[in-house]
Amino acid sequence: MLKTVRCIASVMALLVLAGGVAVAADAQSETTEEATATEVTSAEPQVDSVAVATVAIEARTVPDLLRDLAQASLNETPAIVDALASSGGLSMLPLFQAMLAGELYYERETLRILRIAENEAGDDVASDVLTDADLGPVNARDYRKVRINNRVRGQLRDAIARINLTEGSADQRRAAATAMLDGIDDSTVAAFEQALKTETDAQVRDVIEVGIAMAVLKSAATESEQLVALEQLDGRLEAPVRNLLTSIAESSGDGRPTAVQRQAAAIVSGINARIEHYQFLEQLFFGLSLGSVLLLAAIGLAVTFGVMGVINMAHGEMLMLGAYTTYVIQQLMPQSINLSIWVAIPSAFIVAALFGMLIQRFVIRYLAGRPLETLLATFGISLILQQSVRTIFSPLNRRVISPDWMSGSWQINPVLSLTNNRLYILAFSLIVFFILLLILKRTSLGLNVRAVSQNRDMARAMGIRTDIVDAMTFGLGSGIAGIAGVALSQLTNVGPNLGQQYIIDSFMVVVFGGVGNLFGTLLAAFSLGVANKFLEPVTGAVLANTFILIFIILFIQKRPKGLFPQKGRAAE
Partner 1 sequence: MYSNKFLAGLAISTLVSSMSVATWAAEDTIKVGVLHSLSGTMAISETTLKDTVLMMIDEQNKKGGVLGKKLEAVVVDPASDWPLFAEKARELISNNGVSVIFGCWTSVSRKSVLPVIEELNGLLFYPVQYEGEESSKNVFYTGAAPNQQAIPAVDYLMNDLGVERWVLAGTDYVYPRTTNKILEAYLRDKGVAEADIKINYTPFGHSDWQSIVADIKRFGSEGKKTAVVSTINGDANVPFYRELGNQGLSAEDIPVIAFSVGEEELSGIDTAPLVGHLAAWNYFESVDSAENEAFINGWHKFIKNDKRVTNDPMEATYIGFNMWVKAVAKAGTTDVDKVEQAMIGITAPNLTGGVATMNKAHHLSKPVLIGEVQADGQFEVVWETDGLVDGDAWSDFLPGSKDIIADWTAPIKCGNYNTKTKTCSGQNY
Binding to partner 1, residues 174-233 (CB under 8 A): none
Residue number, 377 or 449, with CB nearest to partner 1: 377
Does 396 contact partner 1 by CB under 8 A? Answer: yes
Q: Please work out, in degrees rounded to the nearest 5, the angle formed at the alpha carbon of residue 134 by the alpha carbons of 130 and 135.
A: 100
Residue from 173, 533, 549, 564 touching partner 1 (CB under 8 A): that is 533
Residue type, 124: D
Residue from 226, 289, 360, 473 touching partner 1 (CB under 8 A): that is 289
Does 43 contact partner 1 by CB under 8 A? Answer: yes
Count Cβ atoms below 10 Å from residue 139 Cβ, excluding itself. Answer: 10
Q: What is the size of the binding site for partner 1 (CB under 8 A)?
A: 83
Does 501 contact partner 1 by CB under 8 A? Answer: yes
Q: How far apart are CA 465 and CA 301, in angstroms?
A: 23
Residue numbers 410-449 binding partner 1 by CB under 8 A: 411, 417, 419-422
Q: Are 175 and 167 in contact (CB under 8 A)?
A: no
Does 247 contact partner 1 by CB under 8 A? Answer: yes
Residue from 4, 20, 205, 454 touching partner 1 (CB under 8 A): that is 20
Q: Which of 455, 442, 445 is nearest to 477 (CA)?
A: 445
Residue from 83, 98, 160, 293 touching partner 1 (CB under 8 A): that is 293
Does 286 contact partner 1 by CB under 8 A? Answer: yes
Q: How far apart are CA 271 and CA 236, in angstroms?
A: 7
* 473: phi then psi, degrees, rounded to nearest 5: -65, -45
Interhelix angle 223-233/239-249, nearest 10 degrees: 140
β-sheet with 113-118: strand ranges across = 134-137, 124-127, 113-118, 104-107, 143-145
Residue from 63, 137, 154, 334 touching partner 1 (CB under 8 A): that is 154
Q: How far apart are CA 128 and CA 122, in angstroms?
A: 19
Burial (Cβ within 10 Å: 0-12, 13-18, ≥19) of residue 65: buried
In angstroms, give the least distance from the CB of 148 to partner 1.
9
Residue from 261, 397, 454, 527 touching partner 1 (CB under 8 A): that is 397
Does 290 contact partner 1 by CB under 8 A? Answer: yes
Residue from 110, 150, 222, 335 touching partner 1 (CB under 8 A): that is 150
Does 542 contact partner 1 by CB under 8 A? Answer: yes
Residue number, 259 or 333, with CB nearest to partner 1: 333
Residue number, 428 or 564, with CB nearest to partner 1: 428
Q: How far apart are CA 522 and CA 505, in angstroms?
A: 13
Does 373 contact partner 1 by CB under 8 A? Answer: yes
E strand or H helix that includes residue 190: helix 186-198
Q: How far apart are CA 79 and CA 363, in angstroms?
A: 70
Give the x-and-dash track for 46-75 against partner 1 (CB under 8 A).
Answer: x---------------------------x-
Does 334 contact partner 1 by CB under 8 A? Answer: no
